[in-house]
Each structure stands twice: as structure tokens, then as C-alpha cells.
Structure 1
């Protein structure tokens, strides 16, 4: 199957007649089996609220009519939904129309089909008109049996696995077990419901045969039980309808609470609620800041200010060293003068020649002159510093002043850090909501929580009622089967239907075993496909080694390369979404159905790396036809250029929304 064209006229935000070519390029008819289909992607860009989801609804509505699960239908009846879908600018005489053309194999050949649904604002008979064209001719037989025909090629139960949106993927990614609707779709997609349906049909046949051999009195009893059973089933339908309505209300209540909580946080509600904490934090930081300033003042009262005159201190040390050295020379000069006099007197007492004595006196005078010159070079003695005082100056200007300078720098850095923290905290506190706004915000959050509590109670009650009525139906069904079995056994030897009844039970047992084996076979293949798809999308070959899916609720488990269970919670949000997409992709592969895939808002909450993996690995290969409805931030300029480089895009459209007129038109091209 392949979609070729979508025409929408006066539907939703789309005014007038808008035509979108959905045919992938590559072959004249775009048949999936043709190897020359190389551009499967049809890309439609639009801003939020610009009509992307409306296009998806149009496809669903064209295919399934009253049974379609459209996004904004909710609990509306079909007639009311059609009325609300009419463009606000359309007159009562204007026609609202959806035309979906596709190609599929019919009676052994590829043929062209067109579904046409049309209605006016004043709907007659409460429904739209349906026309089916096959090979450009109206086919009345297909119109009358359209629901049966579309179920044979794209059953409603599996449509959400091929026509899905980013929110659906997000929900599936967060759940440990797929929701009931997805479980039912999986059973249909894998063909597992056929054995169950055949078993049910056999039970109906057996009951008919048993009724046929029962007496008139027995029939009255059976009919009474059947009437009771029919009443229970009718009650069950009403209870289930109410349950589904409440379930939808509960989901909406959760979404409203999420929006209210987000608004509460963005508009300063959370900060206002924690005002005391922020004020206490500011007070604590100010106290720490004051202590640090006191520490700095204490340092300033010590020798730290000397750091301002380091050059002067260095000059003083140099001058002090010269003066101390001069003092040492003067002391030495006095001592040496005494010694020299004694030495010369001693020379007079010994026998030395006059020449020798003259040489010794010349040497002594030369040494004394050297000392005198050194004293003269020391300059003026204006510091009058002692050697002890010089040592103290060394200590102050060296280790002590360096340590105090380092301590002061650390304190200054801590003061700057505390000041920054105070400023940031005060800025946050300044963004807190006012008491009046805070009250409104907290009231909105509390009201949504009350609504959740209210609907949760109603939900639990409704669920209990459905479960109770299910038990009642099972009980009455068992009673009916028991009566039928007893009555039939009393007269079984008189009736030739004994073989049918006994064989049916055996067939049902065989079908049960068959279904179990078929389920295991399908799930084994699905596990392999999901693992391969996940690793291919994730681009991490060593993250997991095995995927298992249980046969009851299709719960999925991951195992690492060591064979240990890999909890799903260890995956990032993006990896969980890739796993959900891999699950849908694997299902499509195992089903063997060659169907188009349409995805609304495909990359909503993915980071850049995971987004690139989807763009490069999933979209070009997901199916022979992939319809993408995206905003400019999901498939941006980088992503669309990547897809163009891969030659994966066949058609590009821009849904241009005019907010003043609240209208959308379809134009060729994309955002870039």
C-alpha cells in the first residue's frame, strides 16, 4: 500500500482546496516492490498549531470515518465532530471534503483508489458521504463494504503503529508495559488474535449445537441465562464507556497539572514558596561575608600594609646591609689598629732588617686603606640600624609578609565568591512571584491536584465496576456453558452433533497450544528485530546483548553483554524514545505488512546525537513511504540538509499558518 495524494478542503484550519502530493519518487506508480524507489520521505513542515496534526487526522478520517481515532475528537459524537472540523470561514453552502488516494494490490494487480468523504456544516443524517473510486470509476460495492476492505489492508487496531506521533512514542518510552490499546494492536499485527477468534467461533458453534439438542424446558432456562448474559454485556459496554471517559479526563487532568506546575516554576511560584529558605540563605551568606571582612581588617592591622611599600622596604634592606657592613668594618678598623701597633712594636724587639719592616708597614697601610675605602663606600649612616633590627626586617619583608599577603588574597577571593552568591540568590528572590500572583499560581496547581484526586477516585470506582461486571459475565457464561453441557450430555446419544461438540473441544485445545507456539515464534523474531533496530539507532553496539519480550503483556527487558539484566531506568530519556521507536520498527518488520509510516512531531524531546541517529538511520529506511510532519526545531536546517544529501526526500511542503486569519495554506518547499 502506498499513499499518493491528499486533498483537503475547508477542513480544520485549511481554507479552500489544498493538494499534497504524497507519492515517493523513483517509480511511475511508486510500488514498494520496485527497487528504484530511492526517496521515501515526504516532508511537511509547520509550526506548532499550524495544522500538522490536522493532516494526520485527515488521513485517519478518510480511512476509517466514524471509527477514526482523531486527536481532537475526545468524547464528541461523530456528527458533532464533523461540524467542529469545518473551517470557521466556510459558509453553510461550502463543502468540506477529504480525498485520500492510494495504490494497492487488488485482485492480483496494482490499482489506484480514491477515498472521498464530504459534508457540510449542516450535516444530514449525522454523517458524511462516502465515495470510493477504483481505477477512476466509482465502486459501489467497495463503498458498501469499505470498513471490511480497509480492515483487510490496514486494520484500525494496528493503524496507531504506523500512523503515530511523538507524544505516543514518549508515552510508550516511559511505560514498562505497553498500554492495552498497543497490546491489542500487537496481537493483531502479529496475527495472534486469529487463533483466539477461531476458538471463540468454535465456542459459539458448540453452544448452538448444544441448544439444538436441549429440550423445550431446558431451552427456556438457557434463554433466560442468555438474556441475563446479554444484559450483563450491555451493562459492561456502558460501564466500559464511562471508564474510558473518566480515563481520558484523568489523563487531561495530569496534563493540566503538568502545565500548571511548569507555569508555577517559570513565573517564580517555587521561589516564592521557598522565600524563607532564600532569605535565610542570604542572611547566612551575609554573616559569612562579614566574618571574612573582619578577618581582612585584622590582617590590615598587622604588617600587611607594608606590602604597599615593597620597593621602599627592599631599598631599606640594601641600605641596612651597607650600614651594618660599615659598622662591622669600623669595629674591625679599631681592633686592627691596636693589633698593628703591637705588631710593629714587636718587630722592634726582634732582629729584622729595616727593609723587611718597611715592607710590612706598607702592607699594613694598604690593608687599612682598603677597609677605610669600604667604610667610605657604605655612604651615610642615616638608618642607624643594628644587625638585629636588620634580621627583623628580613622576617617582615620575607616569610611573614608573603604569608599575610597570600591569606589576604584568599580572603578577598572568598569575599568575591560570597558576594556573587548573594547577588545570584537576591536575583532569584527578586524573580519570585508576588503574594497575589503566588496565590493564583498555587491555587491553579492545587485545583489541578484536586481534579486529579477527584478523577482518580472516579477512575478506581469505574475500574472496579468494569472488573466486577467482567467477573459477573464470566460467572454467567460458565453457568450457561455448564447448563448447555449438562443438557447436551443427557441427550447426546440421540443427536448426531456429538462429534462436532467433542471435536471442537479438541480443536480448541490444539488452538491454544498453536497460539502459544506461534506467540513464542513471533516474539523470538520480534526480540531479535527490536534489538537490531535499537542498536542500529543507538549506534552503541556494546550497550545491550539481548532483548526479551514476555508473551503476556509484551513487557520488554534488556540484558547487557554479561547476561545481566539492564534496567530500563538506566537509559536516558532519548535512549528510551529510541527503544520505543525500535519496538514499533521491529513490529512493522515482523508483521510483514508493507505499509506507509506517518509520524507527527517525530523528534520532540530528543537531544542532538539521538536526533541525528533517527534522521540518518531511521527515516530513510523505516518504510517504502515515510510521511514526516515536523516543526523547524525538530527537523531543522542541519537535519533537512542531511536528508537531502542522502537523497531521501521526494516531496517538501510548508504548512503556512496565518494567525490573524487563523488559516493554513500548503506551499511547496520547506523552512530552508
Structure 2
């Protein structure tokens, strides 16, 4: 699980909208620490409260809530500069793997200054493979879902502040929230709940036994059940007989239907309709034949000599050209003579005149050979136009129409033939009456058998319901007798169960704490950087107090530890608990260094912060993670994001400055 983004809008000292990127990486290079810098009262704790509020809603253990009701707390959390029509909002996005698939979940809580019904509104957006969807089902079961990821009981192990570390360091016995987290983490709360539930169960059973049992009607119920079984047997036997009768009647009906169909009864039933259809077909055929006769009386027969007509068309065109040539021939001859006469007047050379005369003779010869053929059809232009209209328009239209009529004629003749065959196969009126009567009698027999079968089947079902009800009564009385004995046995065994549960709890506690002791010892020695000071950290099974032992096995009094070493021990305790939980979760620490001296600060900076989790959110003042510490974290490439929270006391507002801290990087 990784927090990816936190958006605050009109929440606490954060007026307007502030978007904070929490991804622990720079250019795809993983770096665990997200560092926030801010002076006291500048909004650091508000960021921690925002994360808790987004995750847990009314159950969140926020620092500024105190004894306030949830509605009052929400009203108090709205920024004072927020206009009446705007809302306070918190968006918290985080990524996790579900079923081998990366899923991003965005929790959206928003509310008015005076929340309706005293609560906020919750929306959940689920993003898979870049596709966003509003998950109302998850929103409705959010409290149960978040308990599977980061249970509220152990959240203080991952979201804690310097005051919590200080309190844990100064007290010999851990505070109650830490004890509850330990019990939840080790599963000890389950044993306690089982013990309480057992007491409640024993108390209830004592009351049931005191009431006694009323079993006088047991024999009557058994006799009634026996009678029902006998009735059921008789009804099933009758139902079997009726089933056979129904099957025989159904088979008889099928045979009658088949005979009715094969012997023409079905066709005879629709004979009148077939006769009408036949008559309509005959009428349509007569109409088509008359239409074809009318077509044959026109130009349609000429379609048989279409090639001859086309030859006539070609010859007619040639004749017409020949006639036109003969008419123009004399005019051309006169023009040639006038041309030659004119040329003679021009006194041209005799050779040139000879050439011109030969040219005109050749032209006239060529035209005579091409158009001077003998005309024998004697067609004029009007005759040729009528012939062209016949071949190109009238005759193709008549042929298409005739083809359509012939196709329709063939189709109707086929239909008529089919109707005539059906009528031939139809039964005679006398045979039809016999076939229909046999079929109706078979159907009537099926209906009669079906009615008798349904009534008997219904009677069987009613008897079975009565048997079931009687069995339930019998089981109740029988169960009462068993329960009476079981209750007595349970009450007698309760004390032994309680002792066993107590022993189980002790052994479970011992087993779990052994693992926790090893983790806390390893974390403390790692942070302390003094392997010869503490050899083992022991945890008391009753109150979870810590005891230290040196390499020789002697107890090291806790007061011998310096204030800084006590804080390291408290941090090691929280770190060990988080590691034992087995949950891969982010860690957020508010005011992380407290009163530590420089040596212990360096140990936390170099050893704890970069390795506490895959994502570590630090909320620090300039005196905790100072210039030396932040430069050290930068040198080891542990910081992914830096933010500076600047508080304006005159406006009572905090602004978030990304890529910035109290001491800028060398690049800045």
C-alpha cells in the first residue's frame, strides 16, 4: 500500500485547494521519505489528522477532536475563510495490488460547515488500468474494507507522533492505545471476546434449562406422521397409474393427429380456402393470357425478325445518304466549273490548272464510289426514324413486358398445380367427419386424464407439506430433549472450557511476544548502535511493560537510560510491532525527533527513517530535522518529495510550497 496523493480543500488552516503528491519516487527512482517542514502550529498535525479522517471518518482519532461530537468536530475543521456555499474536502489516494492487478483507490470526504445529519459524505473512486469508476458498493462497506487494510486498532503503529513516543518512553507500562494495538496485533482480543461470549452463552442456557420441557404430544405427532406416510404411499401409487393412463391417451392423440394429417383431414379442413385460392389463381392466369394476346397483336412479333430489321435499318441509312449525294452532285459539278473558269481568269500556269482539275476529278470520283450506289429501298427520313424508334424503344419495351408476363404466368401455373394436388389429396366429407371425430375424442381423453393427474399430484404435494410440517414439530420436540441434555452438559463443561481458554491465551501471548521481543531487540540495538549495552528486550505478558537485559543476563534498570535512549526504545517498540504485523504499509511520523541529542538524531536519520517502511512521511520543525539532518538524507538519496508549510498568522492560513524546505538544495 502506498499513499499517492493528498488533496485538502478548506480544511483546518488550509484555505482553498492544496494538492500534495505523496509518491515515494523521483523520475521512477524509489526513495522512501516524503518530508514536510513547518513551524509549530503551522499545519503539520492537520495533515496527519486529514489522513486519519479520510481513512476512518467518525472513528478517526484526530488530535484536535478531544471530546467533541463528530458533527461539532467537522464544523470546527472547516477553514474560517471558507464561503458559506463551499465545502471542506479531503481526497486521499493510495495504490495497492489486488488479485495481481494494480488498483488506485481515492477516498473523498466532504461536508458543509454545519453538516447535514451531523456527518460527512463519502465517495470512493476505483481506478484499474487507467479506467475510473465510482464504487458505491465499496463506499457503503468502507469501514469493513479499511479494517482489512489498516485496522484502526493498529493504526497508531503506523501513524504516530512525537508525543506518543514521548509518552511511551516515560511510562513503565505502555499507554492504553498501545496496549490495545498490541492485543489486536497479537490476536489476544479474540480470546477475550470468546471468554465473554462463553459467559453469555452459559447464562442463556441456565435460563432455558430452568423452564423445563413439555413433551406430552410427542406420541400424537409420531402417529400423525405415520398416517401421513401411508396416505402419501397410496397417493403415489394412484399417481403412477394416472401417469400411465395419461401417456397412453397422449400416444392415442398423436396417432389420431397423424392419421388425420396422412388421410387428408387437415387439407379437407381448409378445402373451402383452397378452392377460393384456386379460383383466384385461375382468374389471374386468364388475365395474364389476355395481356399476352394483346402484346402479340402489336409490334411484339417483329422481335422474331430483329436481325432482318437491323439490316434494313443499315441499308436505309445508306440509301438516304445516296439520295442526298445525287441531289448535291449537280450542284457540286456547277461549282467546280465556276471555280475552274475563275482560275483561268487569274492567268495561272497551265500546270497548276491541270493539278487543280485533277484534284477535283479525284474528289468527285471518291464521293461517287462512296455514295453513288444504287438506291432500291427508297426510304425517306421519316420512314427511317420510325424504324429506329421501333428497334431502339418500342420493341425492347414490349419484349421486357412480355418476359415479365411470361415469368408471372409460369409462377401462377406452378401455384395452381400445387393447389390442385392438395385438393386431390383432401379427404371426402364423410371421411373427414370420421377422422375429425376420432381426433376430438382422443383430445378429450387426454384432457380428462390430465385433469385427474393434476388433482392427484396436487394431493401428493399437500400430503408432503403436511409431512414436512409434522417432521418439524417432531424435530422440535426431539431437539428440545437433546437441547436439555446439551445445555446441562454445556453448563457443566463451561468451567473447563474457561480454564482451557485461559491457558490458550497465556500460551498464545507467550508465543507471539517471543517473536515481538526478538523484533524489538533487533530494532533497538540497530538504532542504539551500542551492541554491548542491551542484549535482550523482554515484554511482560500481563501489562506489556519492557525490561532490558545486558549480555550477562542482568536486568538494566530503565532509569539508567538517557532520555534519548528511552525515546529510541519507544521507537524500536513501535517499529517492532509494525514489523510483526506483517503489513506492508506506509509510516507517518509527526515531530519525529523530539528531545533527542545529535548522536541519537543521527541514528534515527541514518538507520530508521530510510528503512522504517517503503514510504515514510515525516512532519518536522526546523529544530528536529535541521540543516545537518536534511543534508544527510539528501546525500543518501532517501528523500522523494520536500514540502514547506508556511503559516500566515495575520490570515491564519497555511500554504504548501512544493520542492522546498527550510534549507533548499544546492540546485535551488
- 1:590: how far off? 1.4
Query: Is 1:202–1:504's contact at 8 Å kept on the other side of the alignment?
Result: yes
Measure the CA separation in 1 of the matches of 2:162 and 2:484. Answer: 62
2:71 is matched with which residue? 79
Measure the CA separation in 2 of the matches of 1:623 and 1:27. Answer: 20
CA RMSD in angstroms comes to 2.5
Is 1:144 the counterpart of 2:140? The answer is yes
The C-alpha deviation readout for 1:255-312, integer Å capped at 9, x for no partner, is: xxxxxxxxxxxxxxxxxxxxxxxxxxxxxxxxxxxxxxxxxxxxxxxxxxxxxxxxxx
1:69 is matched with which residue? 61
2:194 is matched with which residue? 198
2:211 is matched with which residue? 215
Measure the CA separation in 2 of the matches of 1:112 and 1:92. Answer: 32
After TM superposition, the structure 1 = structure 2 runs for residues 72-151 of structure 1, keeping only pairs within 5 Å, are: 72-106=64-98, 109-135=101-127, 136-151=132-147
Measure the CA separation in 2 of the matches of 1:613 and 1:202. Answer: 49
Is 1:585 the counterpart of 2:575? The answer is yes
Which of 545, 554, 557 pairs up with 2:535? 545
2:545 is matched with which residue? 555
1:189 is matched with which residue? 185
The C-alpha deviation readout for 1:141-194, integer Å capped at 9, x for no partner, is: 222221122122211121112111111111110001101221111111222222
Measure the CA separation in 2 of the matches of 1:91 and 1:127. Answer: 19
Over 3 Å counting, the alpha-carbon distance change for 1:499 and 1:103 in structure 2 is farther
- 1:501: how far off? 5.5
Which of 648, 651, 654 pairs up with 2:644? 654
2:156 is matched with which residue? 160
The C-alpha deviation readout for 1:535-557, integer Å capped at 9, x for no partner, is: 11111111111211110000111
- 1:491: how far off? 8.7
The C-alpha deviation readout for 1:446-485, integer Å capped at 9, x for no partner, is: xxxxxxxxxxxxxxxxxxxxxxxxxxxxxxxxxxxxxxxx
Structure 1 SS opposite 2:68: coil
Which of 608, 613, 629 pairs up with 2:619? 629
- Which blocks of at least 5 consecutive residues in structure 2 are unaligned? 214-479
Measure the CA separation in 2 of the matches of 1:58 and 1:216. Answer: 58
Query: Is 1:117–1:131's contact at 8 Å kept on the other side of the alignment?
Result: yes
With 90-99 and 19-28 compared, the bigger mean Cα shift is at: 19-28
Measure the CA separation in 2 of the matches of 1:12 and 1:522. Answer: 41
1:528 is matched with which residue? 518
2:41 is matched with which residue? 49
Measure the CA separation in 2 of the matches of 1:122 and 1:66. Answer: 15
- 1:512: how far off? 2.6
TM-score by length of 2: 0.56
- Which blocks of at least 5 consecutive residues in structure 1 are unaligned? 29-36, 218-489
Which of 49, 55, 58 pairs up with 2:50? 58
- 1:504: how far off? 6.2
TM-score by length of 1: 0.56
Measure the CA separation in 1 of the matches of 2:517 and 2:138. Answer: 38
- 1:60: how far off? 0.8
Structure 2 SS opposite 1:160: helix
The C-alpha deviation readout for 1:496-539, integer Å capped at 9, x for no partner, is: 45566566665544333222112111111111211111111111
Query: Is 1:7–1:99's contact at 8 Å kept on the other side of the alignment?
Result: yes
The C-alpha deviation readout for 1:47-84, integer Å capped at 9, x for no partner, is: 11110000001011111111111111111111111111
Tell me the matched-pair count.
393
Query: Is 1:50–1:664's contact at 8 Å kept on the other side of the alignment?
Result: yes
Is 1:173 the counterpart of 2:169? The answer is yes
Query: Is 1:214–1:491's contact at 8 Å kept on the other side of the alignment?
Result: no
- 1:108: how far off? 5.9
Query: Is 2:71–2:114's contact at 8 Å kept on the other side of the alignment?
Result: no
Query: Is 1:530–1:585's contact at 8 Å kept on the other side of the alignment?
Result: yes
Measure the CA separation in 2 of the matches of 1:147 and 1:501. Answer: 37
Larger Rg: 2
The C-alpha deviation readout for 1:322-343, integer Å capped at 9, x for no partner, is: xxxxxxxxxxxxxxxxxxxxxx
The C-alpha deviation readout for 1:567-620, integer Å capped at 9, x for no partner, is: 110111111100100110111111212221100010121111100100000000
Measure the CA separation in 1 of the matches of 2:498 and 2:106. Answer: 41
